[in-house]
A and B are shown apart, each in its own frame.
Chain A
Amino acid sequence: MRAKRSVVFLVIGLLVLGACRAAPSEAPSPTVAAIKTGVGVEGLTIKLAEITPLTGTVAIIGKPLTRGHEVYFKYVNDVLGGIGKNLPKEQRYKVELVTVDSQYLPDVHVQQYNAVKDKVLAIAQSLGTPQTKAILQQIRSDKILTAAASLSADWFKETYVVPNGAPYIAQIANALQYLKDKGVQPKLGLIYQDDDYGAEGTAGIDYAAKALGFTVVARASYKPTDTEFTAQVNTMKQAGADHVILTTTPTPSGRILGAAAALQYAPRWIGNSPAWIGALVGTKDKPSPLVPYMQQNLWVVTDQGCGWANTGPGCEGSKLMQENMAKFAPDQTPDYYFEFGYVQAMGLHAILEKAVEMRDLTRDGLVKAFEATKSVDTAGIRKKLGYGATCQEKVGVTGSTTSTADLVRWSRADHSSALDAHLRRSGGPADRSRCRDAARRAAGRSSGAAHRLPTDADRARESDLRARSRSPACESHGHAARRGPLRRRRRGHGRGVRLDPRGRRELHHARAEDQLRPAVLERNAHGDGKSGEGRQDRRPHRMRRDRL
Chain B
Amino acid sequence: MIDFLQLAVQGIALGGIYALIALGFVIVYKATQVINFAQGELVLLGAYLVYAFNQTALPFVASVALAAVVMAGIGWAIERTILRRMVGRPVFAVVMITIGLAIVVRQLVAAVWGFEDRLLGEPWAASRIQLGDLGVNVTSVVTIATTGVLLLLFFVFFRFTRAGIGMRATAIDQEAALAVGIPVRGVFAQAWMIAGAIATIAGVLLVAFPATLHPAVGFTALRAFPAAIVGGLDSPGGAVIGGVLVGLVEVLVQGYQPQVAPWLGNNFHVAAAYLLMIVVLVVRPYGLFGTRVVERV
> How many residues does chain A have at the interface if contact means C-beta atoms less than 8 Å apart?
68
Distance to closest chain A CB from B76 (angstroms):
18
- List A contacts of B6 (CB < 8 A): 230, 234, 263
Is B119's CB under 8 angstroms from A279's CB? yes
Contact partner of B211 (CB less than 8 A), chosen from A251, A263, A451, A453, is: A251
Is A289's CB under 8 angstroms from B125's CB? yes
- Residue A235 at the B interface, CB < 8 A? yes
Q: Which of A256-308 contact B (CB under 8 A)?
A: 257-259, 261-264, 277, 279-280, 282-283, 286, 288-290
- Residue B176 at the A interface, CB < 8 A? yes
- List A contacts of B181 (CB < 8 A): 482-483
- With known contacts A451-B54, A453-B123, A496-B165, A511–B294 Cβ distance under 8 A: yes
Chain B contact residues, majority secondary structure: helix
Is B61's CB under 8 angstroms from A231's CB? no
- Return the CB mask of A434-457 against B: 1 if under 8 Å, else 0: 000000000001101101111100
> How many residues does chain B have at the interface if contact means C-beta atoms less than 8 Å apart?
72
Contact partner of A277 (CB less than 8 A), chosen from B117, B209, B219, B294, is: B117
- List A contacts of B220 (CB < 8 A): 225, 227
- Residue B185 at the A interface, CB < 8 A? no
- List A contacts of B17 (CB < 8 A): 227
Q: Which of B1-18 contact A (CB under 8 A)?
A: 3, 6-7, 10-11, 13-14, 17
- Return the CB mask of B95-108 against A: 1 if under 8 Å, else 0: 00000000000010
- List A contacts of B255 (CB < 8 A): 230-231, 234-235
- With known contacts A288-B125, A494-B161, A234–B7 Cβ distance under 8 A: yes
Distance to closest chain A CB from B107 (angstroms):
7
**How many Å lie between the Cα of A248 and that of B220 in the bound state?**
17
Is A290's CB under 8 angstroms from B251's CB? no
- Return the CB mask of A221-264 against B: 1 if under 8 Å, else 0: 11111111011101100100000000000110011011101111
- Return the CB mask of A446-489 against B: 1 if under 8 Å, else 0: 10110111110010001000000000000010010011000000
**How many Å lie between the Cα of A57 and that of B216 in the bound state?**
6
Is B294's CB under 8 angstroms from A509's CB? yes
Contact partner of B209 (CB less than 8 A), chosen from A220, A258, A264, A483, is: A258
Contact partner of A548 (CB less than 8 A), chosen from B176, B219, B250, is: B176
- Residue A510 at the B interface, CB < 8 A? yes
- List B contacts of A509 (CB < 8 A): 172-173, 294
Is B254's CB under 8 angstroms from A262's CB? no
Is A496's CB under 8 angstroms from B176's CB? no
Q: Which of B104-132 contact A (CB under 8 A)?
A: 107, 110, 115-119, 121, 123, 125-128
- Residue B284 at the A interface, CB < 8 A? no
- With known contacts A223-B270, A289-B209, A55–B60 Cβ distance under 8 A: no
**How many Å lie between the Cα of A220 and that of B11 in the bound state?**
18
- With known contacts A451-B58, A452-B59, A507-B172, A251–B214 Cβ distance under 8 A: yes
- Residue A415 at the B interface, CB < 8 A? no
CB-nearest residue of chain A to B254: A231
Is B258's CB under 8 angstroms from A220's CB? yes
12 A-B contacts (beta carbon < 8 Å): A221-B266, A228-B254, A231-B7, A238-B3, A254-B117, A280-B119, A288-B126, A448-B56, A454-B60, A458-B62, A510-B173, A511-B173
6 smallest A-B Cβ distances: which pairs?
Answer: A258-B210, A289-B126, A231-B254, A231-B255, A60-B115, A286-B121
